Each structure stands twice: as C-alpha cells, then as structure tokens.
C-alpha cells in the first residue's frame, strides 16, 4: 500500500512463473505461483551454486509476501553436489518460514530406487526443518 496525498494506492505483488530449463549441470526449476507448485528436477552441480540458486531464493522471498495458498515443493533430483545441498537447505528454510507465517507447505522428496544417498539426504532435511515430507521412490528406467 502506498499513500499519495489523501489517496491510498494498493500495490499487488504479481508473481511470474520462473522456468529454468535444466542442463547437464543444473536442474530444471519450475516455480509456478498460479499452481502453487515449486519443482526442482534433474541434476544439480552448478559451478557456482550461490549464483544459480540466489535468484530462486529471491523469487521465494517475493512469493512468500502475499501467498497464503497451500504450496507443494517437489524435489526430484538424481544427483546434487555438496554446495547444492547447502542451497537446497536454504530453500527448505525459506519454505519453513512460509509455513510459520501460515502457509501450508508440503515437500515431496523423490529419490531414485536404491539410491541411499539421496534417500538419506531427504531424511536428514526432514529432520532439520518443520515441514511435512513425503518420501517417494522412483525408478530410473
């Protein structure tokens, strides 16, 4: 809300879809404010994880401002680096903050069958943040 003289002008935060096409080193990222879905798919080992993920974190900050809708975050990564792991935790902390502010947030953590590392990472993340997690396996075939 902005006050100009005796007039009050309401500003609405119009969020746009963020759709990043995945590469061999970066995941596909689809942040859809209309569907209230956040998707992270593929492999995450960018040269500079902070440079890749900081715009996503900024988008989440804006999304959290006016969002009160149930939101689902889908993580379906078949590999991620240590530096990406730290950024994924930052994303989960942002989602947890949204949850504390009243938004229902659910995490769907997919892991490839027989990939104990990604399955375990999901279990660790679910212990570090106060969010409901679904742990779902899938076949790479």
Total structural domains within the chain: 1
Tell whether 9 is covered by a domain: no
Task: Identify the CA nearest to 112 among candidates 137, 88, 75.
Answer: 137
Given a contact cutoff of 8 angstroms between Cβ atoms, the answer to whether 137 and 100 are in contact is: no
Give 20-50 pLDDT, tens digit per residue.
999 999 999 999 999 999 999 999 999 999 9
3-state DSSP assignment of residue 136: strand
Domain of residue 35 covers: 15-138
10 domain-assigned:
no
Q: What is the CATH number of the domain that holds 100?
A: 3.30.750
Does 90 reside within a domain? yes
pLDDT in tens, the chain (141 residues): 444 455 554 445 568 999 999 999 999 999 999 999 999 999 999 999 999 999 999 999 999 997 889 999 999 999 999 999 999 999 999 999 999 999 999 999 999 999 999 999 999 999 999 999 999 999 977
Strand ordering across the sheet containing 71-80: 18-20, 28-32, 37-44, 71-80, 105-112, 133-138
Burial 86-120 (b: 16+ CB within 10 A, else e): ebbebbbebbbebbeeebebebbbbbbeebeebbe
What is the bridge-based pairing of β-strands 18-20 and 105-112?
unpaired
pLDDT at 15: 82
**pTM of this prediction?**
0.88
Strand intervals (E) in the chain: 2-4, 7-9, 18-20, 28-32, 37-44, 71-80, 105-112, 133-138
Dihedral, 82, 105, 129, 85 alpha carbons, nearest 10:
0
What pLDDT does 71 receive? 97
């Amino acid at each position: 809300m902005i006050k100009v003289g005796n007039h009050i002008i309401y500003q609405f935060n119009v969020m746009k879809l963020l759709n990043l096409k995945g590469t061999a080193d970066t995941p596909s990222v689809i942040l859809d404010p209309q569907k209230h879905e956040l998707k992270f798919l593929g492999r995450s080992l960018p040269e500079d994880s902070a440079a890749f993920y900081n715009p996503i974190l900024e988008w989440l900050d804006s999304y959290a401002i006016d969002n009160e809708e149930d939101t689902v975050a889908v993580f379906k990564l078949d590999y991620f680096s240590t530096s990406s792991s730290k950024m994924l935790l930052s994303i989960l902390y942002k989602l947890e903050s949204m949850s504390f502010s009243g938004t229902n947030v659910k995490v769907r953590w997919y892991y490839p069958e027989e990939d104990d590392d990604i399955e375990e990472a999901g279990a660790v993340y679910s212990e570090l943040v106060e969010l409901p997690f679904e742990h779902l396996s899938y076949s790479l075939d």
